[in-house]
Structure 1
Amino acid sequence: MSDIKAKAELEVMQQGALPDGRRWTLDGEGYQCQLDSNTFFALLNVNNGSNAQIQIPHDEAESSKLNGWLEWLFDIHGDVAIVELVSLNGDKIKEIFKSDFYQQTEIWYRGNNGGTFPLRWVENDQGVKHPFRAEPVKGEVYRRHFHTLGMDLSLRHLDPDKDLELFTSWMNVGRVAKFWEEEGDLEKQKKFIREVIQDPHKYPLIASFDDVPFAYFEVYWALEDRIAPYYECHSFDRGAHMLVGNSRFLGRRYALAWLKGVSHFMFLDDSRTQTLVGEPRADNGPLLKYMNGTFGWKKVKEFDFPHKRAALISCDRADFFEGAGKV
């Protein structure tokens, strides 16, 4: 569902609720939104450009209870980039920038880094000097509700026992095998998973919509990866190999959500990461169609790996967060 369509449907509905049950209504003045059981606030000027206003009692201005409403607002109304908090008499209290809001790790991020892991240089077995990387957290590391879908996207560390059969079935789907070329039985996939988990520059993740697994994302540090010699690589650049194994979640509206969510996670996982990269096969038309020009992603060039013709795609941190609500 597009942001425009979602917004139009909201305005027809005239009322609705956040996932936590707090309600909103829409009238001629704007939205009336429930902050808690005793407090409501007005959300004004939503459809008048990039600035909206929240009119709220001064002592509630710093409340984390606003986070759910800000996420809803920025998700549904993609043109809004700045929210002004104003008092009941109209005095400005503060401004909230969308680009700042989406860089808060405490709302969505469940990992152990967030840019706080100390910088220490080491050398790997291939002679590449790189920052020492934090060991990935086992379990869920990211969760975000996408209001345009009405679903949660979550990312968790791949469990080599729990996920083996599912992972094997995905690797043997024809459209996946065409690009990954890793089809095979349980023993082959067990070996594949073991090697990924033991590689300190890789972070294997299972993605779910409303806790239904649908995809595998192999997040990696680019400096230690095969892609590094093919572009001007920096110490905290990040990338991901990806596959959607559950055909129920194919299609543009799901792709837009997982692309935004996985990109968001990689930037939150280390504040020093300024660039995301990828190297899908150059003939992977469906993936390149979704990614080129979306959320700051762009196709840079094509180049030749020893095993494939690849497309270099990249996403700049500033571009991603400035356009966090837009396609």
Structure 2
Amino acid sequence: MDSSTNPKKTVRVGRFTMDLPGDAVFDGALLELNGVPVAITPRFIKPRVEREAQKNWRIIEDRNRGKAEHKATRKDLAQGAVIFNYDHTRITGEGLDGEPINKVVHSTLAYQWFNNLKFVLGNDSTLNRENQIREILDSILLSGTDVKQALCYMEGCLTYRTGNEGVYVDINFAERPNLRAKFTSKQYGGAANQYLSERNKNGFSPADATAWIMKSEFQHRTYRNTKRTVNNLVGEEIIEASTEKSAEGYLTEVNAVWYYPGEPNRADKPEIRLDLDYSYTTKQPPKNGTGFPDQEETHSVREEEFMKIWDDALNSLVSK
């Protein structure tokens, strides 16, 4: 594809920016804000979000109908959001400090439509977080791409002070239907993460692996496997291709990943991962072995194009 007809654009993901081709399209995100999950789905009209919220409310209401002490509650907010509090459970007993425990916990779920996006906040495991969810809902209506102290999801940003956060953004490409990207950034504590190459791989036994390779006609190729410094962060870059026989023919997948393990308890050095994946299916095994499609095939992503998209994204990845 001629890059002059598809110029680059700068996108904001997490607390970073990077350059992608002009046909890059936001395909969904999950933000984790101090224990509250915020799922963001594009291409939703407001009535569709309202119908989904109402459907789930009926399920929740029926499930909680028999609870004598606390019924499920629904709150319709002025900005169009709706909050459900449900599954109230009383916890009694003795704490680790010997003090008695007698409290009620409940789940909270909220829906909000904004800018053709569906926001779902919380789930069954989100306990006693209504106030925090309300703060996030207020932030959604103020979201933009120029917000300071913000966490971004490509289509907008939420004002959020750094701390205990995770960002997962999915991206596809309008003119390259089999090309996908994913950006991940996560702060964490505890033991330091390992590089991908240092992790234990629980694979087949040698005999089982050989049998599977022969049966699936598996092929593998490594393009890159090295350390790569991005934005002064020493990460690991791996680009591989594989082909195996499937019901539809021969599936070839090209996977590129750059991974920085981050440092525990360092808000400015989260775990970061960027993936770029391309796949295609052929009726016969690739003529030149596993890898990118043959040059004569139309509407395919060539090796040079894939590597340029990848290198441009990594070379431009900076904290904002």
Tell me the TM-score normalized by structure 2. 0.33
Structure number with greater Rg is 2
Tell me the TM-score normalized by structure 1. 0.32
Identify, as 1 or 2, the structure richer in helix.
1
Identify, as 1 or 2, the structure richer in strand.
2
